[in-house]
Amino acid sequence: MGKNSMSGQLRTLKSSVLPNAAIRTGEKRSVNFIKNMQESLDEIRALWSALTPKEGQICAYCGGYATDEEHVTPRAWIERAQELADMGINIKVPEEKIVMACRECNLIASARIFETFTEKKNYIRWKLSLKYKKYIDSPQWDDDELEELRGEMRRKTTIYNEALKAVQARLRFIGAKTILKHNDYFKNLYG
Ligand SMILES: [Zn+2]
């Protein structure tokens, strides 16, 4: 008996013993999810912050939902650089530029000083790619799979699934896979 027909028989046996194998798989995934969720509530909150943006409210760095007006270069730094330049010190005074950003990107950049938008954008995108690396290839649940679940488990899994969709859209927007391929380059640049 060939290996293939053996595993074929095993599959038939399994599906007759377990009439709905999908439910079992689904429950296992949900249990894992709930366990993980307790360990990473902060991450789930961050996933939610990336919910589908409305027009004109798109974060300039990640494509997520923008809530804040953000100075690319901190105003205080521009003023300081101007003072130094006026004293005759050879320093480049960055231009003032304001963009819309989400809270998370704002926090990632925090007090770090960037002289150009591109520099800051690349830094934030690199940090986001590292942070959400594990979600890049996570499988999404489809409607049929969700319908197999019941009650609280279905509710929580649906929430997780929506957040996963949002974060994956964001990872695609920033080109996370390409960024991670060049991780060493970014580490040298910003690390
Ligand atoms: Zn953002």
Please compute the mean of the pLDDT values over residues 14-32 and round it to a whole number: 48
Specify if 91 maps to a domain.
yes
pLDDT tens digits along 27-80: 555 555 555 555 555 555 556 655 555 556 888 999 888 888 888 888 888 899
Q: How many angstroms is it from 49 CA to the middle of ligand 1? A: 9
Q: Is residue 119 part of a domain?
A: yes
pLDDT of residue 175 exceeding 80? yes
Ligand 1 centroid to residue 106 C-alpha, Å:
7
Quote the ligand 1 centre to 94 CA distance (angstroms): 22
The residue type found at 172 is R
Give the span between the Cα atoms of 70 and 112, in whole angstroms.
13
Does 152 or 25 have the greater pLDDT score? Answer: 152
Mean pLDDT for all residues in the chain: 78
Inside any domain, residue 79: yes
Expressed as residue numbers, the domain containing 119 is 3-15+35-190
Residue 25 falls inside a structural domain: no
Which residues are CB-neighbours of 48 under 8 A, at least 6 positions away?
Answer: 163, 166
Question: Could you tell me the distance, in angstroms and rounded to a whole number, from the CA of residue 92 to the centre of ligand 1?
Answer: 27
Count of alpha carbons within 13 angstroms of residue 131, beta-carbon side: 21
User: Does 102 map to a domain?
Assistant: yes
Task: Examine residue 168 and state whether it is found in any structural domain, yes or no.
Answer: yes
CA of 108 to the centre of ligand 1 (A): 9
- Identify whether 30 is part of a domain: no
pLDDT at 158: 87
Cα(120) to ligand 1 centroid in Å equals 12
Structural domain total, the chain: 1
Residue 26 covered by a domain: no
